Chains A and B, each alone.
Chain A
Amino acid sequence: MAGLEVVGVTKVFGAERSGVTALAPIDLKVKQNEFVCILGPSGCGKSTLLNIVAGFVTPSAGHVLLEGEPVLGPGADRGVVFQEHALFPWLTVAANIEFGLRMRGVDHRERASVVERYVKLMGLAGFESRYPKDLSGGMKQRVAIARAMANEPQILLMDEPFGALDAQTRALMQAELTRVWLETRKTVLFVTHSIEESILLADRVVAMSARPGTIKEIVSVPMPRPRDDTSPEFNSLKRALTDLLRTEIKKATEMFAVVEGVA
């Protein structure tokens, strides 16, 4: 039950002394099969933290452990879903989904069965031979999630994956992700700036504060899934998190561009 451990991770962008501190020491544990949301306003360093866990950014101090192994760079054990979907535009839906398996030299027949499984799971049947240009934003994110999951990573890292979608599609994708998570119980670290989204999805919500980015509070969400966003429990939790973040949002808007721009 090691899961993911973030130990004393900090990040300073720019020169050692004059640089911008994006992350003050962060300690965080994500248990296996747990869904954790990192919630915070723009500029609080939540994407930087995710990029450090993904191995795209090296921390200034501290380290990240996955199943006890230190993270030294990006790797197939951590599947990433990006905000801008990041599908390979020259590959079909099926070829995108099997990309990771192909890189590892998995043979053709096994790849086909994995593709079939994740096409079914993500509701992509009939779109296998389409190119990303022919898909809507929601469908692209389904492919991106399928591609990350087909690689069978230990943990799924999701960086505001529904941030660019319209409200209806976003609600649908949140419901779909809940359904898929209930089926697979994949460990997920999910970054969002939406309070509702974090309460809908997460077992625990990690509320971050800005300047420098630190964990302000970790809130458990004990409601069973799928969750009703009109229920009294939902709303009282939403109110609590809104109060918690209000001061942070104000603080963050003042330095908005600085940190996220560098990350």
Chain B
Amino acid sequence: MRLLRSRRSRKIFSVVVFLASWAAIAEVNLRVQFINPLLLPTPWEIVIAAWELRQFTWLDVSTSLSRALAGFAIASALGILFGLLVGYIRLAEDMFETLIELFRPIPALAFLPIFIMWFGIGEVSKVLLIAYACFFPVFLNTQQGVRYVDPVLVRAAYSLGAKPLQIFTNVIIRGALPEIMTGLRAAIALSLIVLTAAELVAADAGMGYRIQESRLQFRVDRMLYGAAMLGIAGYSFNLIMRAIEGYLLRWKSRVEQSKA
């Protein structure tokens, strides 16, 4: 088809087909009442819900994003720091790795009620839980990245006169950067998951809170609107991370994709 020649049009096409199918199914359901139409709103009912809730949009988005980003920032700093240390320094590996690996398999959400008991239902418990959950992917990927830096590059740097600290900053960190970026991308996606869980349980604003509040009002349209906001937030995060990654890793060669 001529319409689908450009890559952009193909990407838009998939979204349009999805929305059209949804609208069609919801409209048919509205007439045959196969299930209660309240449970299956049409796409435009979501738009109307968004309009009705417009006074809360900025509050919800800014509250949620500041929680997610604060947690993500703490996790990134600590995850990169510990990942570099544990990956590069044997003493740090012996001291920290077992402890971290013992905590890592516990789903972070298991700590949600505990964190609420410890830190209350305010911002602190949410930000700390997000930070805790996001720490692991950043830590793990950074540590792997450090371990698999090409040893020939370290030799080359030494024979060019680099000192151990210079090797660390100019070869180890630079060489581990692709994996560090992978960890950060996984973490930012995880931050929204943990954020939503925390807001569903206890909050007074935020995108997750809006879903929970709408559930109590039996407003599926508003609940889906809350989910859509989270989707847009996650999509935007990913776009930003990919742009940063594309810039920082512009030296890396990429696999040629099939043109079909």
User: Measuring CB to CB, which residues of chain A are less than 8 angstroms from any residue of chain B?
Assistant: 54-56, 73-76, 78-80, 82, 84, 86-91, 99-100, 103-104, 131-133, 147-148, 151
Contact = CB atoms under 8 A, between A and B. Distances in A.
Given A74-B158, A99-B157, A82 B152 contact: yes
In terms of DSSP, what is the predominant structure of the interface of chain A? Answer: loop
A199 B77 CA distance: 56
Contacts of A99: 157, 160, 162, 170
A55 B157 CA distance: 13
Contact of B251 (A74, A76, A86, A89): A89
Contacts of A76: 159-161
B253 A133 contact: yes
Interface string B133-167: 00000000000000000101101111111110010
Contacts of B174: 88, 90
12 contacts: A54-B159, A74-B159, A75-B159, A78-B159, A80-B155, A86-B155, A86-B156, A88-B157, A99-B160, A99-B162, A133-B251, A147-B160
B158 A73 contact: yes
Interface in B164-188: 166, 170-171, 174-175, 177
B162 to A, nearest CB: 4
Given A75-B158, A88-B170, A151-B160, 20 more contacts: A54-B155, A54-B159, A56-B155, A74-B158, A78-B159, A79-B159, A82-B152, A88-B156, A90-B174, A90-B175, A99-B157, A100-B162, A103-B160, A103-B161, A103-B162, A103-B163, A103-B166, A104-B161, A133-B253, A147-B160
Contacts of A80: 155-156, 159
Interface size for chain B: under 10, 10 to 19, 20 to 34, or 35 or more residues? 20 to 34
Contacts of A87: 156
Nearest to B166: A103
Contacts of A131: 250-251
Contacts of A103: 157, 160-163, 166, 170
A239 B64 CA distance: 79
B126 to A, nearest CB: 37
A87 B251 CA distance: 12
Contacts of A78: 159
A61 B152 CA distance: 25
Nearest to B150: A86
B251 A91 contact: yes
A151 B161 contact: yes
Q: Which of B156, B166, B175 has the most C-beta atoms of chain A within 10 angstroms of its own C-beta?
A: B156
Given A74-B155, A80-B155, A89 B160 contact: no
A81 B152 CA distance: 11
B182 to A, nearest CB: 16
A104 B157 CA distance: 12
B11 interface: no
B177 A90 contact: yes
B180 to A, nearest CB: 13
B252 interface: yes
Given A74-B155, A80-B155, A90 B251 contact: yes
A55 B253 contact: no
